[in-house]
Amino acid sequence: MQNNAEFKLSRRQWRVVTALATEPTIAAAARAAGCGERVIYDDLRLPHFQAAVNREIELVRAEARRRKAVLLTKALDVVETNMDGVNGPKLQFDAAKEVLHQGQNEDIEHVLQRVQEIVTAYANA
């Protein structure tokens, strides 16, 4: 939640701001905030309310990016361990094959997503 001195929102409006930043739809945000959708649409007409929502969304995204970076680092550590053969030749081969396969892809976000999926699959195997 942002500093209320900057946005001058009520407690209910702050609940709505938080819900809008974390829920997938207006309806879900209304349920999470304990108010009606019409109230949210009315609030969204207010420039200072829109600014608070936009700021909160950016904070949520920044935290998600930070957490993703931490998880990707851990995922790459697991792949690296498997590349070293610590968990046996099969996992070493699979990790090497996937790194080579993904190395052909120039989209690093896609590569990192795939590495995360591989680590999850190995963890669940």
Of 21, 38, 65, the one marking the end of a domain is 65
pLDDT of residue 66: 84
Residues 79-95 pLDDT 10s: 777 767 677 777 767 77
Of 65, 92, 108, the one marking the end of a domain is 65
Could you tell me if 72 and 34 lie in one domain?
no
Q: Say what the pTM is.
A: 0.59
CA pair distance 18, 34, nearest whole angstrom: 12
User: Which residues lie closer than 8 Å to 63 by C-beta, 6 or more apart?
Assistant: none
Q: Tokens 């190395």 sit at which residue?
A: 103
CA pair distance 39, 53, nearest whole angstrom: 14
Could you tell me if 29 and 40 lie in one domain?
yes
pLDDT of residue 124: 58
CB 31 within 8 A of CB 18: no
Residues 2-13 pLDDT 10s: 555 678 899 999
> Which parts of the chain sit beneath pLDDT 70?
1-5, 83, 85, 92, 96, 99-125
Name the domain count of the chain.
Answer: 2
pLDDT of residue 1: 47
Its domain, for residue 94, covers: 66-124
CB 36 within 8 A of CB 19: no
